[in-house]
Amino acid sequence: MSRLLVKDAHNSTTPLDSILLQGWVRTRRDAKAFSFIELNDGSCLKGLQVIVDATLPDYAQVAKASTGASVEVRGKLVASQGGGQKWEVVAEKFLVLGEADATYPLQKKGHTLEFLREIAHLRPRSNLFGAVFRVRSRLAYAVHQFFQERNFFYVHTPIVTASDAEGAGDMFRVTTLDLANPPKTEDGQIDNAQDFFGKKTFLTVSGQLEGEIFATALSNIYTFGPTFRAENSHTSRHASEFWMIEPEVAFCDLQGNMDLAEAFVKHLIRDAKEHCAADLEFFSKFVDKELMTRLDFVLERPFQRCSYTEAIEILAQSGKTWEHPVSWGDNLQSEHERYLAEEHFKCPVTVYNYPRAIKAFYMRKNDGESAERQTVAAMDLLVPGIGEIIGGSQREERLDLLKEGMALHHLDEKAYWWYLDLRRYGSVPHAGFGLGFERMLMFVTGVANIRDVIPFARTPGTADF
Where residue 346 falls (left for φ over 0; alpha for ψ -120 to 50; beta otherwise) is: left
Summarised one tens digit per residue, pLDDT across range 441-450 is 999 999 999 9
Report residue 144's pLDDT band, with 50, 70 and 90 as the boundaries. very high
Please state, rounded to an integer, the average pLDDT across all residues of the chain: 94
In this structure, are residues 41 and 8 in contact, taking their beta carbons and an 8 Å threshold? no
Query: For 149-158, what is each residue's pLDDT tens digit?
Result: 999 999 999 9
DSSP type of residue 27: E
Residues ≥6 apart with Cβ < 8 Å to 289: none
Model pLDDT, residue 438: 96
Q: pLDDT (tens digit, 9 = 90+) per residue, 298-334?
A: 898 889 999 999 999 999 999 999 999 999 999 999 8
Could you give the CA distance from residue 273 to residue 365 in angstroms, rounded to a whole number?
39
Answer whether 227's CB lies under 8 Å from 244's CB.
yes
- The residues near 458 (Cβ < 8 Å, ≥ 6 apart) are 239, 240, 241
How much is the pLDDT for 162? 87
Whole-model pTM: value is: 0.94
User: Residue 297: which pLDDT band, with cuts at 50, 70 and 90?
Assistant: confident
pLDDT confidence of residue 291: 95
The answer on pLDDT for 422 being more than 60 is yes
pLDDT of 385 over the 90 cut = no
pLDDT value for 242: 95
Angle at CA 42, nearest 5°, toward 41 and 44?
110
What is the mean pLDDT of the segment spanning 171-200?
Answer: 93
Q: How many CB atoms lie within 10 A of CB 377?
A: 24
The pLDDT, as a whole number, for residue 228 is 94
pLDDT of 127 above 70: yes
What distance in Å separates the CA atoms of residue 52 and residue 36, rounded to the nearest whole number? 7
Distance CA(72)–CA(34), nearest Å, equals 17
Cα distance between residue 233 and residue 456, in whole Å:
17
CA atoms within 13 A on the CB side of 53: 11
Cβ atoms 138, 45 nearer than 8 A: no
Scanning 304-416, the segments in alpha helix (DSSP H) are 308-316, 334-338, 399-408
What is the band of 23 on the pLDDT scale with cuts at 50, 70, 90?
very high
Instruction: Identify whether the C-beta of residue 49 lies closer than 8 Å to the C-beta of residue 40.
Output: no
Asked if residue 451 has pLDDT above 70, the reply is yes
pLDDT band at 373 (very low <50, low <70, confident <90, very high): very high
What is each CA distance from 12 to 9, 100, 159, 397, in whole angstroms?
A: 5, 30, 44, 56
User: Is the model's pLDDT at 167 over the cut of 80?
Assistant: no
pLDDT at 113 over 60: yes
Model pLDDT, residue 371 = 83
Closest CA to 267 of 405, 101, 416, 146: 146
Q: Tell me what the mean pLDDT of segment 282-303 comes to.
A: 93
Nearest CA among 401, 389, 363, 409 for reference residue 253: 363
Q: What is the mean pLDDT of residues 11-35?
A: 95
Q: What is the mean pLDDT of residues 260-270?
A: 97
Position 107 confidence tier, pLDDT thresholds 50, 70, 90: confident
Residue 453 has pLDDT above 60, yes or no: yes
The SS3 assignment for 145 reads helix
Per-residue pLDDT for 65 more than 70?
yes
Give the pLDDT of residue 85.
Answer: 85
Query: What SS3 class is residue 118?
Result: helix
**pLDDT the model gives residue 169:** 62
- Binned at pLDDT 50, 70 and 90, residue 217 comes out as very high
* DSSP secondary structure of 198-241: SS-EEE-S-SHHHHHHHHHHHSEEEEEEEEE------STT--SE
Closest CA to 215 of 355, 51, 394, 370: 394
Q: Which has the higher per-residue pLDDT, 237 or 374?
A: 374
Report which of 7, 11, 35 is spatially closest to residue 23, judged by C-alpha positions: 7
